Amino acid sequence: MKNIYVLFGVLIIIIVLGCNSYKGSNIHSHQNQDLHYHDSDSHSHSQNEEVKLHDYFGDYSIDDENFGAKTTVTVSDKTRKMVTNALPNHKTGEYPRKGNPNTISAQNRTYSFPVNPKYTGNPKWVREPGVALNGVKFEPGTAEVVECDTGENYRVEAFQELVNLGLDFNNAHVQPTGAYHYHGTPTSVIEKFDSGNDLVHVGFAHDGFLMYYSKSDIYKSSYKLIDGSRKGEDCTYETRRNSRDVSVGGHHDGTYTSDFEYVDGSGDLDECNGITINGKYMYLVTSEFPYVSRCLMGEVALEERRSRPTTAQLFKRMDVNLDGKISKAEAKGRLASMFSQVDSNNDGFLVQSELKHMPRPDRTQRRSE
């Protein structure tokens, strides 16, 4: 009988210790490089939900009521398909604003990315290298150009003191179509999708490789400022509203894209701001030029649009609610300002046939992008 009491006492002690140990324990997992989470006995269900929120490699959706962002991604064996209204799921600067008179509006975008990208090692220039996880595109270059009578043309960078492009705290602004886009480090995207690791998954490149941002900034660009001075006389920068003389003389200080040159091996990243880490090739968004890749190293079927969009393309982009017509609220850019002229039957809506009568733009005018 005495042995039974002793055994019963030991059993009670084991149960008490086990309960106390469970209450104080946390699960700390690094099994997946891109998942970093904590859990306790009272949050086991929310922990599983948090893991799903941090995993943007498979199917996912964003439906943000506060900002109106809607993005759905579905993944098959070969293709990652993104359908989005391209609205950011975070705060932005107030638009219109000085340097950018445009208003953010929903777009109608569908993107396809290969699930198994093929690395070629042959850099291909692209205007839009990729799309952020929230459906907002990356477009690091600008449409701003300084032209000289002596024949030189200088493409203006987004980050400089010559021209105010109205960039906000996300290093982004708005095109005349209403499309919000990132020129550099997407600050709020990094905050939204940070899973606790140094490398933050921020988007998909159009060749299928992933786009990351390093919080420690340890991976350095291989682009350097060119030695010497620029050449060019009687140079002018023109906008839709005015024209002003610009002196391009002086050293290469980063105002223009041509101020930089790629020096192989001078940094950690290749010509397209890419690097292989743990056997996986990826692109990095950096705080220094080129900020976001200007080229892609994988096979890409994306065709860069260099000419005026067709009537069908223009109509599809603005018909956000897909009702087969464009309202005054949906019309953007030049079409918005010429709405009454194009609306031949004065019914307050535009159909595709009416867009064919839209006057061609004056090529001497430029629009800030």
Closest CA to 174 of 128, 105, 241: 105
**In the 8-state DSSP scheme, what is residue 100?**
B
Q: CA-to-CA distance for 25 and 6, rounded, in angstroms?
A: 29
Distance of CA 121 to the CA centre of its chain: 23
Residue whose structure tokens are 């001078």: 266
pLDDT of residue 217: 96
Q: CA-to-CA distance for 166 and 81, rounded, in angstroms?
A: 31
pLDDT of residue 356: 66
Q: CA-to-CA distance for 44 and 222, rounded, in angstroms?
A: 45
Level-2 CATH architecture, domain 308-369: Orthogonal Bundle (1.10)
pLDDT of residue 368: 45
pLDDT of residue 303: 54
Phi, psi of 100, rounded to the nearest 5 degrees: -150, 100
pLDDT of residue 344: 83
Asked if residue 155 lies in contact with residue 200, where contact means CB atoms within 8 angstroms, the answer is no
Please classify residue 42 by burial: count the beta carbons closer than 10 Å to its beta carbon, then call 0-12 exposed, 13-18 middle and 19+ buried. Answer: exposed
Q: CA-to-CA distance for 136 and 181, rounded, in angstroms?
A: 6
Phi, psi of 51, rounded to the nearest 5 degrees: -60, -40
Q: CA-to-CA distance for 329 and 287, rounded, in angstroms?
A: 36
User: Which residues of the chain fall short of a pLDDT of 70?
Assistant: 1-54, 302-313, 333-334, 356-357, 359-369
Distance of CA 251 to the CA centre of its chain: 31
